[in-house]
Amino acid sequence: MHLFSLRIQEKEQFLQISCPLSVLLWLLASFFGFSIRMGDYESSSTPTHEREQHLIAAARHIMQALRSSSFQTDDLRKTLSDLESHLSAIAAITESKTEEFSEFEKRLKSAEEEVFSWESNDQIMIWDSGPVEASNYLKSIDEIQTLIQNFTGLSVDEYGKHKELLYRADSVLQLAMSRLEEELIHILVRYEQYLEPEYMSFRLSGADIVYDESFVSVEEESIEEASQRNRYTNESDDYYVVDLVQPLAIPHLKSIAKAMFASNYGYEFCQSFINTRKYALDKYLVVLGVQIFSIEDVLKMEWTSLNLEIKKWSWNMKIIIRVYLASEKRLFEQILTEFGSVSSFCFLDISKATMACLLNFGEAIAMGSRRPEKLFSLLDMYEVLADLLLDIDALFMEETGSIIRIEFHELMKSLGNLAKTTFLEFGNAIATSNTSSNPFSGGGIHPLTRYVMNYIKTLTEYARTLNFLVNDQCIEDSNPALELEDRQGIEDSFSSTFYPTAHHLLSITSTLKSSLDSRSKLYKDAALQHVFLMNNIHYMVQKVNSSKLMFFFGDEWIREHIAEVRQHATSYERATWSSVLSLLRDDNQRSHSFSKASSRERCRAFSIAFEEVYKSQTGWSIPDLELREGLQISTAQNVIQAYRTFVGRISGNISDKDIKYTVDDLEKYIFHLFEGSPRSLHHAFIRRR
């Protein structure tokens, strides 16, 4: 009996450490001499909760036998009572687990049926069927998620019912996630919205003018106006963030995102979302005409083609960044904001390839040569980037987008430096431009003058940008006259804010005048030299006086150059007509009349000289009508007055038939001069009766 008491004490200590039910059953059997095969209750093929029920029944059977024994003691009865309490507790727990498994399986089966029902109808989309169907499907997914989370925490045999149910739940959840991916793509495609026509492809105006580096002649149409069309054609000051997906689809997309992220399928959601939106972006880029050029392609491209691509690039940059990507970012934020930085990473993923394409083209341009014809395009590109700077900083403000921000800023700096250098070296390009050994025909406005003046006239449209770029340029000029022009023309008449730009524009015109002076010396006729300079300086004054250049050059510059035009007109008259009119003057100051022979000879000599002037100078050109008529009137006044006086003095010596040209004839012929069409006087000498 002492041994029995020891066993009872050992059993109680064993119970206190909550031994497994199967061990408890074995202990009872061994203590009290019962024979039992534990293998009957531990078969792995028997579900856990059923095995526990068998063990409890066996334990109670042993305890019932002990109660019926004849050698019960108080200790035994107390021990059996304690055992009964433990068995009841274990039975209650086992029953609870049994109910949990049953409830889990029931709920899982219901969710499975909902998921499987749509797999058999894979041609019908859930969200197309209505909000009730979509809601029921999402509820089934929520149910599966809840079951998995609750059931995962249970401490049960992993080789039993527990593992089987978890595997079923994971499988059906995976199937549901796959279906949600399909629904996501379908919704994005079905409810995709296309941009308005004003945000579509770039169309170049037919009136666009392209500068080239050869300083060839351009049409007289205002290049400034053409440049304005170049810069603003197809552009609008209004840019809007638009809905790339119909608003009614946003709640659907958010519900799918929430379900997939809650199920740890956020990566799969993002990949499907990004790939679908990338496809939409690629389609839009095709509509915009965006092409991928290598640096080598850009550097080898003909200027006309390259200039067109630059204009398309400028248009595309604004539309893609300010409209499309801004709208795309809003879409990502609408769907993914609640998931932290996921939205930023996804947006960067969809936009980085497009931004790389645009920035690479700009970098290729920045690597090109410094040629005058590129300046306007460089300034356009720089202004586009400067205008978009805040947009880029806002789109990629997170650390994830820092690489794009940095590359954007660096490209703007590179283009600005190239534009500044090209502008500052434009004067050198004028000075080193090819000078033909032959003079410009007719003494008209040289193509170089037209090119340069229209060029700098257009530059005034970029005054603020140029001033910003060259403001830090050290201005050193050794020309005192130019410094005087700077002081009087700029500081008195124009805001000193634009002094750096104005200084360089004045320097360019100074270089142009030097080049024109050299070209004028190619003419052998001194009179034609003056006509050439008069024409070209007058053209310069016209361009300055009729444009924003007047604010850069000032009134003093205009007055000085108008005076130069008049001086060249006076010099022309002196060079041409002094020798001709000398034939009409009497060398003998005391004589008031000519002899008959002298009168005839002087008439003949004057007629020959006039005909020579007429023959050559009708081929000379003064394109400006007002300037031409002014010089014709001035010439006519001097010549006609001298000729009328001469004819009056000789009228008594010779008959009218000896006078080849009347005063009216001369006046008419003088107004044929400078029209650019050579003529000859075939005047038949007819004796008047």
Whole-number pLDDT of residue 478: 37
Q: In the numeric block, which tokens belong to residue 626?
A: 């007002």
Whole-number pLDDT of residue 205: 46
Q: Using 50, 70 and 90 to split pLDDT, how confident is the model at 398?
A: confident
Query: Residue 674 — left, alpha, or beta (φ > 0 → left; ψ -120 to 50 → alpha)?
Result: left
Mean pLDDT computed over 627-654: 88
Strands (E), 7-102: none
In this structure, the answer to whether residues 269 and 416 fall within a common structural domain is yes
**Eight-class DSSP state of 143:** H
Report how far residue 509's alpha carbon sits from residue 296's, in angstroms, rounded to the nearest whole number. 36
The crossing angle, in degrees rounded to 10, of helices 74-119 and 48-67 is 160
Q: Is the pLDDT of residue 442 over 50?
A: yes
Report how far residue 429's alpha carbon sits from residue 418's, in angstroms, rounded to the nearest whole number. 15
Q: Is the pLDDT of residue 29 over 90?
A: no
Report how far residue 375's alpha carbon sits from residue 394's, in angstroms, rounded to the nearest whole number. 29
Per the prediction, the chain carries an average pLDDT of 79
Tokens 């095995």 map to which residue? 51
Reference 357, options 281, 466, 419; nearest CA is: 281
Tokens 């079923």 map to which residue? 168
Which comes out higher in pLDDT, residue 111 or 473? 111
In a domain, 333, yes or no: yes
In this structure, the answer to whether residues 454 and 385 fall within a common structural domain is no
Whole-number pLDDT of residue 49: 52
In a domain, 113, yes or no: no
Whole-number pLDDT of residue 239: 64
Whole-number pLDDT of residue 258: 95
Q: What percent of the chain has pLDDT over 70?
A: 70
Read off the pLDDT of residues 547-558 as tens digits, 9 standing for 90 and up: 999 999 999 999
Q: Using 50, 70 and 90 to split pLDDT, how confident is the model at 97?
A: low
The number of residues in the chain equals 689
Q: Is the pLDDT of residue 403 over 90?
A: yes
Any bridge partners for residue 192, and if so which? Answer: 245
Whole-number pLDDT of residue 628: 95
Mean pLDDT computed over 410-432: 91
Q: Is 25 helix (H, G, I), strand (E, B) or coil?
A: helix
Reference 371, options 302, 312, 296; nearest CA is: 302
Q: Is the pLDDT of residue 521 over 70?
A: yes
Q: Is the pLDDT of residue 115 over 70?
A: yes
Q: Using 50, 70 and 90 to split pLDDT, how confident is the model at 71?
A: low
Domain that holds residue 492: 431-578
DSSP for 389-404, please give it. HHHHHHHT-SGGGHHH
Q: In the numeric block, which tokens belong to residue 464?
A: 């603020």
Backbone angles phi, psi at 600, to 5 degrees: -65, -40
Q: Is the pLDDT of residue 14 over 80?
A: no
In this structure, the answer to whether residues 471 and 565 fall within a common structural domain is yes
Reference 371, options 210, 263, 251; nearest CA is: 210
Backbone angles phi, psi at 550, to 5 degrees: -60, -30
Whole-number pLDDT of residue 452: 95
Handedness of CA 324, 328, 331, 337 (dihedral sign): negative
Read off the pLDDT of residues 149-167 as tens digits, 9 standing for 90 and up: 876 665 545 445 667 778 8
Report how far residue 569's alpha carbon sits from residue 635's, in angstroms, rounded to the nearest whole number. 10
Q: Which range (135-144, 149-158, 238-247, 392-401) has the least confidence?
A: 149-158
Mean pLDDT computed over 368-379: 89
In a domain, 132, yes or no: no
Q: Which of 553, 578, 603 is the last residue of a domain?
A: 578
Q: Using 50, 70 and 90 to split pLDDT, how confident is the model at 395?
A: very high
In a domain, 572, yes or no: yes
Q: Using 50, 70 and 90 to split pLDDT, how confident is the model at 70?
A: low
Which comes out higher in pLDDT, residue 660 or 16? 660
Whole-number pLDDT of residue 169: 82
Whole-number pLDDT of residue 471: 79
What pTM did the predictor assign?
0.75
- In contact, 361 and 313? CB cutoff 8 Å: yes
In this structure, the answer to whether residues 447 and 563 fall within a common structural domain is yes
Q: Is the pLDDT of residue 318 over 70?
A: yes
In this structure, the answer to whether residues 510 and 591 fall within a common structural domain is no
Whole-number pLDDT of residue 549: 92
Report how far residue 267's alpha carbon sits from residue 346's, in angstroms, rounded to the nearest whole number. 10
In a domain, 35, yes or no: yes
In this structure, the answer to whether residues 290 and 398 fall within a common structural domain is yes
Q: Which range (14-18, 136-140, 399-403) has the least confidence?
A: 14-18
Any bridge partners for residue 621, and if so which? Answer: 675
In a domain, 171, yes or no: no
Read off the pLDDT of residues 408-420 as tens digits, 9 standing for 90 and up: 999 999 999 999 9
Q: Is the pLDDT of residue 253 over 70?
A: yes
Whole-number pLDDT of residue 7: 46
Q: Using 50, 70 and 90 to split pLDDT, how confident is the model at 255?
A: very high
Which comes out higher in pLDDT, residue 209 or 622? 622
Whole-number pLDDT of residue 32: 47
In this structure, the answer to whether residues 552 and 636 fall within a common structural domain is no
Q: Which range (143-157, 294-308, 412-426, 629-643) has the least confidence?
A: 143-157
In this structure, the answer to whether residues 648 and 515 fall within a common structural domain is no
In this structure, the answer to whether residues 461 and 418 fall within a common structural domain is no
Q: Is the pLDDT of residue 190 over 90?
A: yes
Q: Using 50, 70 and 90 to split pLDDT, how confident is the model at 28?
A: low
Q: Using 50, 70 and 90 to split pLDDT, how confident is the model at 678?
A: confident
Q: Is the pLDDT of residue 397 over 70?
A: yes
Whole-number pLDDT of residue 526: 95
Q: Is the pLDDT of residue 667 over 80?
A: yes
In this structure, the answer to whether residues 268 and 400 fall within a common structural domain is yes
- In contact, 21 and 59? CB cutoff 8 Å: yes
Q: Is the pLDDT of residue 668 over 90?
A: yes
Which comes out higher in pLDDT, residue 6 or 179? 179
**CATH code: domain of residue 595:** 1.20.1280.170
Which comes out higher in pLDDT, residue 344 or 37? 344
Whole-number pLDDT of residue 433: 78
Report how far residue 51's alpha carbon sits from residue 551's, in angstroms, rounded to the nearest whole number. 102
In a domain, 603, yes or no: yes
Q: Looking at the 3D structure of the chain, how many domains does it have?
A: 4
Q: Which of 561, 578, 595 is the last residue of a domain?
A: 578
Q: Which of 376, 409, 424 is the last residue of a domain?
A: 424
In a domain, 145, yes or no: no
In this structure, the answer to whether residues 260 and 350 fall within a common structural domain is yes
In this structure, the answer to whether residues 460 and 355 fall within a common structural domain is no
